[in-house]
A = this chain, B = another copy of it.
Amino acid sequence: MEILNGKETAKSIKEEIAQAVKKRKAEGKKIPHLAAILVGMDGGSMTYINNKLKSCEECGFESTLMRYDDSVTEEVLLNKIQTLNEDKSIDGFIVQLPLPPHIDEMKVTLAIDPMKDVDGFHPMNLGKMALNLPCFISATPSGIIELLKRNKIETAGKNCVIIGRSNIVGMPLSILLSQNADPGNCTVTLAHSQTQNLAEVTRTADILIAAVGQPGFVTADMVKEGAIVVDVGTTRVEDSSKTAGWRLAGDVKFDEVAPKCAYISPVPGGVGPMTVASLMINTLKAMELKGK
Identify the A interface with B (CB < 8 A). 106, 122-128, 130-131, 133, 135, 156-159, 165, 167, 171-172, 174-175, 178-180, 185-192, 194-196, 201
* Cβ of A71 to closest chain B Cβ, rounded Å: 27
Contact call B187/A130, Cβ cutoff below 8 A: no
With A133-B106, A171-B178 known as contacts, the answer to whether A194 contacts B127 (CB < 8 A) is no
Contact call B196/A157, Cβ cutoff below 8 A: yes
With A126-B127, A128-B123, A133-B123 known as contacts, the answer to whether A165 contacts B178 (CB < 8 A) is yes
Contact of A131 among B123, B128, B201 (CB under 8 A): B123
Q: 5 A-B contacts, Cβ less than 8 Å apart? A: A125-B127, A126-B130, A127-B128, A180-B194, A187-B194
With A123-B133, A127-B122, A167-B130 known as contacts, the answer to whether A187 contacts B191 (CB < 8 A) is yes
**3 smallest beta-carbon distances between A and B, as pairs:** A123-B127, A127-B127, A126-B127
Identify the closest chain B residue to A110 (Cβ). Answer: B133
A131 proximity list for chain B (CB < 8 A): 106, 123, 126, 167
A135 proximity list for chain B (CB < 8 A): 123
Contact call B123/A171, Cβ cutoff below 8 A: no
Contact call A189/B187, Cβ cutoff below 8 A: yes
Contact call A187/B167, Cβ cutoff below 8 A: no
**Interchain CA distance A38-B135 in the complex, whole Å:** 30
* Cβ of A84 to closest chain B Cβ, rounded Å: 21
A188 proximity list for chain B (CB < 8 A): 189-190
With A174-B174, A190-B178 known as contacts, the answer to whether A157 contacts B195 (CB < 8 A) is yes
* Cβ of A118 to closest chain B Cβ, rounded Å: 16
